[in-house]
Amino acid sequence: MGSSSSSYAPQTIYLDVDGKVQKVVFSRHCSPCDIKELLCSSSNIPRNTAIMVVDPEGALVSIDPTMPTNSPNSLYKVIPVSTGQLGDKEDIFQNVLSQVAEQFSRAFRINELKTEVTNRLAMLEKRVELEGLKVVEIEKCKNDLKKLRDEMTSRGGGRVNCPCKYNFSDDGKKVTPRRDVPNYPKYTLSQETVEALKKPTFDVWHWEHNEMLSCLEYMYHDLGLVKEFNMNPITLKRWLLAIQENYRNNPFHNFRHCFCVSQMMYGMIHLCNLQEKLTLTDMGILMTAAVCHDLDHPGYNNTYQINARTELAVRYNDISPLENHHCAVAFQILSLPECNIFANVDLEAFKQIRQGIITLILATDMARHGEILDSFKQKVDNFDFTNEEHVTCLKMVLIKCCDISNEVRPTEVAEPWVDCLLEEYFMQSDREKSEGLPVAPFMDRDKVTKPTAQIGFIKFVLIPMFETVMKLFPQIEEIMVQPLRDSRDHYEELKQIDDAMTE
């Protein structure tokens, strides 16, 4: 503040005008021409007269905003300059040039910089000499290192870098949205869309990213989450933007998949009347975990992370590396003030929300499928909505259902997702083959077909899980379980056709 205010302080000088003291005050932002006119006026000299200013010793004083101040005991004199004294134009020009050069030299400390650069160069040259590493040798070292790194990669020793946005060196990195709310169009959802959003039959392929963002925004408002957590609506928009921008363009694990899972969660909340059975905090945890559950997914699953010894696997000790990473990125985004939708929630409530979101995202690791489903089966026959452990287990099963719910949808919506998933699987298995890593048969493009990929998954994973949930919510049988049975029959028919053609 001090330096800023001093730069606006006026400059004061004192003149000897016909034996009297004349005080002159001007701003530091005046031009030399303005000051010259002021001096002429103060000294009773016509305005356009060429003048010079001298101090008591007769030395010239520059006429500019930086001219040195004096006191009433050391008066300056303003002297008109005749044409003869001025000399020719060339002398004037040279004089001006000299003054400008002097001021530039003073302003930029050219000589000091030259000296400093010269000294640094000398020091660096001496250092290179002392260490015996000439520039050529340094370049040779760099080339040798590159060759060594390439060789390690080709031998399979360089598989420590999973293509994740956030690695060990990015701990302090924030994930601010690249665009802000003004570029996020406002869509008005039709009543038809609002009703369709509540159903598993919703066609997720007809929407572009901004429309999906608007649908997610609507869900938070409709469920009462914005009001319950006192969310700033603009912060909600910014948070959703940051979420969308931190999903990668993978064939399957992308923002559209995030939207699918979130929309299915919204649909199950309405279908199962969860608003009457769970708290709004539970709703917030369910929806937010669904939105964040695959953030920054690199397109290669946990098996690859662990076998390839990637940074994520090392960081999380081979324990759900991807799911831990999704959680970390989710809370990195929430740590940004402009994206923190829970900014107005008190500390204890936020700790509960945070723990709930972490628990749900970690539950999406399919390696824990049997453990989580068995725990739910033990509780479902005597389920108690007032029991916190029961409710947590239900929420874990709900997010698992939504995460792998594509086959619940109509065939024309579900089948393209199978192609997307197989494409991502094949990308991974091709990489595993090239790196000498184990390849799962269900990911191998030489072994798997669409029917074989789906039949076992639907029969032994999806139907048993949804039928268990159906015990608690019978209303899902017609809308969710029956489509799974139909999908199983559909793929079994396709497999019979494939087998017949092969024979």
256 annotated to a ligand binding site: yes
* C-alpha radius of gyration, the chain, whole number: 37
293 annotated to a ligand binding site: yes
Q: Which amino acid is at 109?
A: R
| CA gap 503, 501 in Å, rounded | 5
**Sign of the alpha-carbon dihedral angle for 314, 316, 317, 323:** negative
- For residue 54, the number of C-alpha atoms closer than 13 Å in the C-beta half-sphere is 7
221 annotated to a ligand binding site: no
Among the listed residues 29, 209, 253, 390, the single catalytic one is 253
| CA gap 61, 48 in Å, rounded | 19
257 annotated to a ligand binding site: yes
Closest CA to 292 of 222, 337, 341: 341
41-56 burial code (b ≥16 CB/10 A, e <16) = eebebeeeeebbbeee
490 annotated to a ligand binding site: no
Residue corresponding to tokens 């909600």:
236
Q: Coil, strand, or helix at residue 53?
A: strand
| CA gap 150, 228 in Å, rounded | 55
Contact yes or no for 61/53 (Cβ under 8 A): yes
**Sign of the alpha-carbon dihedral angle for 55, 60, 65, 68:** negative
Tokens of 128: 């290179």
**Sign of the alpha-carbon dihedral angle for 101, 105, 108, 111:** positive
Q: How far is CA 501 from CA 15, 268, 311, 451, 498, in A?
A: 110, 40, 45, 14, 5
| CA gap 160, 152 in Å, rounded | 11
73 annotated to a ligand binding site: no
253 noted as active-site residue: yes
254 annotated to a ligand binding site: yes
191 annotated to a ligand binding site: no
342 annotated to a ligand binding site: no
Contact yes or no for 213/239 (Cβ under 8 A): no
- CB atoms near residue 61 (< 10 Å): 16
**Which residues make up each annotated binding site for AMP?**
253-257, 294, 403, 454
Catalytically active residues, by annotation: 253
**Which residues make up each annotated binding site for Zn(2+)?**
257, 293-294, 403
**Which residues make up each annotated binding site?**
253-257, 293-294, 403, 454
